[in-house]
A and B are shown apart, each in its own frame.
Chain A
């Protein structure tokens, strides 16, 4: 029992989704982890789960308010469509919100205790005060049912009845029954698993052995059959076996507070709960003084000070682990942020606000073709734009940006090998050194080789840099160089060809100029695309803000170098613009491996990811296989992405098994990822949780717009 000198520490624990463990091995591992933590309980403990009614009203009000306030008609129309979707969800379901907590009587530091719980339950746990069972003043009422009622105007405050366990029946418990089925009754309630005592191992063994001895003496004197005693001895022996295998013996009592708006509903709900649990444990309805006292089970008052006749039951750690089942029942959580999908199994909408941090949180999306990546992306961009007013830049190589362009009537930038020119010399960086490095990276990609790592290459790099410096220096201020006056590749080659103070240097400069000219000027393969003034207006001009834009590269004739250059130049322009402000923006880059397979451009992407992050520009990198993001330097991009959206990866499961970045996934998570059907995905948010979501029931408006993707 809790010593009054031992302080109580209270923690809130983020419920997780049991569906992510719902195989035989998964729940077995979960039970083993919970049991291991329970074996080491430092003293009395109390587990709490509050289930309160929740609705999407807040979300609906927020969307309506945004629709009223926005001056953008397109956004307002979208918002009204989303409002209708949320109203539809609300009408179809009866949402509850769950919150779990733990009170521990221990001298250990709260951080250590929270850390222990966090790793044992594999979900965030942090020290926090527990929410009250009710608010304001309540008093005891004697009527056909003893209950607690609010004093004064109820103001939405419900009546409360309390049920306490007094006998546990010999029945099989698991994570799905009986406690989860109580939560599935979908009535507001609070559940407490009080653990007033954990026996010291030897004391537990002695106590159980004494009972066995007593029964054996009794059986020795009985001539007939006494099956109850035999069963009891067997139970005691099993308990001893479990204790000897490392389990602890705990005293446990379950209390359930049921809420209802009126007395008849309260009575009905109390009976529903009693009937639901009857095959597993018996509950008594608290009356009179007992009712008033048992309220304290929902506080951090030590059990022995509550002064209720003890009706605890001894259970071993592996049995007690199953009583923490409510932890696996994450229900409707926050409605802050945008809809990311619907939980598979539980069917509650999952919202997430990734803009709480002052820096942007980048995301990695992976999934095989045809599994709903693009459809979800269109929906996500649309939701962020409508609900949070966050514009986006969408870069894609297949031409399917058309759908989102048509849906929102956006400017569509189709970069074409025939009609578009992207000048590598365009000023994208504020300093000369950065600008030179960037342009050299473009030329390296064109040349298909690095201008470093050897004597000749170093000289070439120096000469190309010198040529660029000469050209830029001619304008004085770098920022004053607009695209229409920027030097072209031809000019660079001319200047480069004349550099060098020694003959052999002159020869190198001349050769390099020839090489570049051969590729980028005259009738070279990329002349039309690179040699000239940029024909796409990436700039913000005099605009305060830039709306959503879509850049498609499907007309680049499948030329991988040209596509990579287009990605790099567009991203550079976006990067340059992002330096002006810290307005949130999403930059979605589909088929990012086309950029990443060029070493020079990969360096650029890594650097851009950091810049975007500090300027609140969310980079959303998309590809088919996770392995693309884990190879060599590409990993730096991956490590900057705390949110991972994973569609079916059955062709590339090895990284999820082998890579250290995925050690938080268990076998069942991996099985899910390997067999995700279309429109289902795993949303893995670092330090927040893993969600198994579906986008199979999107808002009707999204389906109408993007269904063909």
Chain B
């Protein structure tokens, strides 16, 4: 027997143009437009090229890579690099940046004893799972004292 896995039934496919969702096109367009307005003061007509590049960059960075937007993936990668630098070369530029941005340097080194520590506090001894023997000989015929979950009924 098998099961045919279905598409994501809790997410609506976003409509778009040439396979690019409208939201991303809109963000790219707004980014490009904003860039054009600002850059035109400094660059003149060259700002059109910069705006086009910004549009493409915005589209690329918002594109999914491994289920998350590329910008987010790059951000995690960069945070990883900054964490490493802050931990290993704290005096370097990247290390200082890492310290400034308060990178979680604790994630650089992982101690198995801490990460995979068993949930001790939550495990309570269930006495009903134990048999208590008063004498060693009792263990031979399993006739020890047994804890029960609730008082036995009928014997008063």
A contact residues vs B (CB 8 Å cutoff): 7-10, 24, 27-28, 31, 109-111, 127, 129-140, 142, 146, 148, 151, 164, 166-174, 207-208, 211, 214-215, 218, 228-229, 231-232, 235-236, 238-239, 280, 282, 284-285, 287-293, 295-296, 298-301, 309, 311, 313-315, 318-319, 321-322, 614
Given known pairs A8-B122, A31-B1, the reply for A142 and B80 (CB within 8 Å) is: yes
Q: Is the pair B80, A146 in contact by a Cβ cutoff of 8 Å?
A: yes
- In the complex, how many residue pairs between chain A and chain B have their CB atoms under 8 Å apart? 174
Given contacts A132-B116, A134-B112, 20 further A-B contacts (CB under 8 A): A9-B119, A129-B118, A130-B116, A137-B110, A140-B108, A142-B81, A148-B110, A170-B4, A170-B6, A173-B2, A173-B3, A173-B4, A211-B11, A282-B66, A282-B67, A288-B77, A288-B80, A289-B107, A314-B9, A321-B3
B76 touches A319 (CB 8 A): no
B109 at the interface (CB under 8 A from A): yes
CB-contact partner of A140 in B13, B80, B112, under 8 A? B80
Chain A residues positioned under 8 Å from B9 (CB to CB): 208, 211, 232, 235-236, 239, 314
Q: Tell me, in angstroms, the Cα distance from A282 to B5 when the chains sit together.
A: 13
Instruction: Return B116 CB to nearest CB of chain A, in Å.
Output: 4
Question: Min CB distance, A431 to chain B, in Å?
Answer: 20
Q: B65 an interface residue at 8 Å Cβ cutoff?
A: yes
A214 near B116 with CB under 8 A, answer no
Q: Which of A28, A142, A228 contacts B84 (CB 8 A)?
A: A142
Interface residues of B in 95-121 (CB under 8 A from A): 104, 107-112, 115-116, 118-119
- Check B79–A288 contact: CB distance below 8 A: yes
User: B60-73 CB contact bits vs A (8 Å, 1 = yes)?
Assistant: 00000111100011
Q: Which residues of B contact A111 (CB under 8 A)?
A: 126, 128-129
Pair A309/B67 contact, Cβ less than 8 Å: yes
CB-contact partner of B72 in A151, A299, A309, under 8 A: A309
CA distance A230 to B7 in the complex (A): 12
B156 in contact (CB, < 8 A): no
Please tell me if the beta carbons of A292 and B107 are within 8 angstroms of each other in the complex. Answer: yes
Say yes or no for B131: interface residue by CB 8 A criterion: no
Chain A, residue nearest B80 (CB): A288
State A331–B22 Cα separation when bound (angstroms).
50
Looking at the assembled complex, report how far the CB atom of B37 sits from the nearest CB atom of chain A, in whole angstroms: 32
Whether, in the assembled complex, B15 has its beta carbon less than 8 Å from a beta carbon of chain A, the answer is yes
B110–A292 contact, CB under 8 A?
Answer: yes
Is B110 within 8 A of A215, CB to CB? Answer: no
Any A CB within 8 A of the CB of B47: no
B123 within 8 A of A: yes
Task: Pick the residue among A24, A211, A313, A318 that contacts B3 (CB under 8 A).
Answer: A318
B11 surroundings in chain A (CB, below 8 A) = 211
The answer to whether A8 touches B119, judged by C-beta atoms less than 8 angstroms apart, is yes
- Taken together as a complex, chains A and B put the C-alpha atoms of A171 and B3 apart, in Å, by 8
Chain B residues with CB under 8 A of A27: 1
Collect the chain B residues with CB atoms within 8 Å of residue A131's CB: 116
The A interface is mostly helix, strand or loop, or mixed, namely mixed
Complex CA distance for A300 and B67, rounded to whole angstroms: 24
Selected from B104, B112, B119, the residue in CB contact (under 8 A) with A135 is B112
Residues of B within 8 A of A315 (CB): 5-6
Please provide the 7 A-B residue pairs with the shortest distance between their CB atoms, ordered closest to farther.
A288-B80, A166-B67, A284-B66, A129-B118, A132-B116, A7-B122, A292-B107
CB atoms of B67 and A235 under 8 A apart: no
Can you pick out 23 interface pairs between chain A and chain B where the beta carbons lie within 8 Å of each other?
A131-B116, A136-B111, A137-B111, A140-B108, A164-B67, A166-B66, A173-B3, A173-B4, A174-B1, A174-B3, A232-B7, A235-B6, A288-B81, A288-B83, A292-B107, A293-B107, A295-B115, A299-B115, A309-B67, A311-B68, A318-B3, A319-B5, A614-B140
- Chain B residues with CB under 8 Å of chain A are 1-13, 15, 65-68, 72-73, 76-81, 83-84, 104, 107-112, 115-116, 118-119, 122-123, 126, 128-129, 140
Give B73 Cβ to nearest chain A Cβ, in Å: 7
Min CB–CB distance B16 → chain A (angstroms): 12
Nearest Cβ on chain A to B2's Cβ, whole angstroms: 4
A206 CB to closest chain B CB (Å) equals: 11
A288 and B6 CA atoms in complex are apart in Å by: 31
Which one of B2, B116, B123, B129 lies within 8 Å of A174 (CB-CB)?
B2
The CA of A288 and the CA of B140, in the complex, are separated in Å by: 58
CA distance A290 to B77 in the complex (A): 8
For residue B126, which residues in chain A have a CB less than 8 angstroms away from its CB? 109-111
Residue of A nearest to B66 (CB): A284
Q: Is the CB of A166 within 8 A of B84?
A: no
Which A residue sits closest to B78, measured CB to CB?
A: A288
Using known A-B contacts A170-B7, A289-B83, A292-B107, determine if residue A211 contacts B12 with beta carbons closer than 8 Å: yes
Asked if A289 contacts B119 (CB within 8 A), the reply is no
Q: Are B67 and A296 in contact (CB under 8 A)?
A: no
Q: Across the interface, which residues of B come within 8 angstroms of A137, CB to CB?
A: 109-112
Q: Which of B65, B67, B104 has the most CB of A within 10 A?
A: B67
Q: How far is the CB of A287 from chain B (nearest CB, A)?
A: 5
Q: CA A67 – CA B104 in complex, angstroms?
A: 56
Q: In the complex, which residues of chain A have a beta carbon less than 8 angstroms from the beta carbon of B10?
A: 207-208, 211, 314
Instruction: Find out whether the CB atom of A133 lies under 8 angstroms from the CB atom of B112.
Output: yes
Q: Is there an interface contact between B119 and A300, defined as CB atoms closer than 8 Å? A: yes
Are A231 and B116 closer than 8 Å at their CB atoms?
Answer: no
Contact B123–A235 (Cβ < 8 Å): no
Question: Are B7 and A231 in contact, with the CB atoms below 8 A?
Answer: yes
Residues of B within 8 A of A133 (CB): 112, 115-116
What residues of chain A lie closer than 8 Å to B1, measured between beta carbons?
Answer: 24, 27-28, 31, 174
A127 (CB) vs chain B CBs: closest residue:
B123
Determine if B116 and A168 form an interchain contact, defined as CB atoms under 8 angstroms apart.
no
Contact call A172/B2, Cβ cutoff below 8 A? yes
CB of A156, distance to nearest CB on chain B (Å): 14
Complex CA distance for A308 and B108, rounded to whole angstroms: 16
Chain A residues contacting B118 (CB-CB under 8 Å) are 10, 129-130, 300
> Are B2 and A140 in contact (CB-based, < 8 A)?
no
Cα(A552)–Cα(B78), bound, Å: 79
Q: Are B77 and A140 in contact (CB under 8 A)?
A: no
Which of chain A's residues has its CB closest to B83's CB? A289
User: How far does the alpha carbon of A508 sit from the alpha carbon of B125 in the complex, in Å?
Assistant: 67
CA distance A239 to B9 in the complex (A): 8
Bound state CA distance, A134 and B113, in angstroms?
A: 9
Q: Which residues does chain A contribute within 8 Å of B115, judged by CB atoms?
A: 132-133, 295-296, 299, 301
Instruction: Indicate if the CB atoms of A235 and B7 lie closer than 8 Å.
Output: yes
| A284 and B122 contact, CB distance less than 8 A | no
Contacts of A290 in B (CB 8 A): 73, 76, 80
Q: Provided the pairs A10-B119, A284-B65 are in contact, do residues A289 and B7 lie with their beta carbons within 8 angstroms?
A: no
> Min CB distance, A225 to chain B, in Å?
14
Chain B residues lying within 8 Å of A289, measured Cβ to Cβ, are 76, 79-80, 83, 104, 107
- Of B2, B78, B111, B129, which is in contact with the most chain A CB atoms at under 10 Å from its CB? B2
Residues of A within 8 A of B110 (CB): 137-140, 148, 292, 295
Q: Say yes or no: A140-B84 contact (C-beta < 8 A), given A8-B119, A110-B123.
A: yes
* Cross-chain contact A151 with B67 (CB below 8 angstroms): no
Query: Are A171 and B5 touching (Cβ within 8 A)?
Result: yes
Complex Cα distance, B87 from A389, in Å, reads 58
Decide if B122 touches A229 in the complex (CB within 8 Å): no
Q: Is the CB of B123 within 8 A of A287?
A: no
CA distance A292 to B3 in the complex (A): 33
A207 and B8 CA atoms in complex are apart in Å by 12
**B79 adjacent to A319 (CB under 8 Å):** no
Complex: how many Å from CA A127 to CA B128? 14
Please measure, in the bound complex, the distance between the C-alpha atom of A289 and the C-alpha atom of B74, giving whole angstroms. 10
Q: A138 CA to B108 CA in the complex, in Å?
A: 8
Chain A residues with CB below 8 A from B68, complex form: 166, 284, 309, 311
CA distance A169 to B6 in the complex (A): 7
Give the CA-CA distance A315 to B3 in the complex, in Å. 10
**CB-CB under 8 A for A169 and B5, given A218-B15, A289-B83, A299-B116:** yes
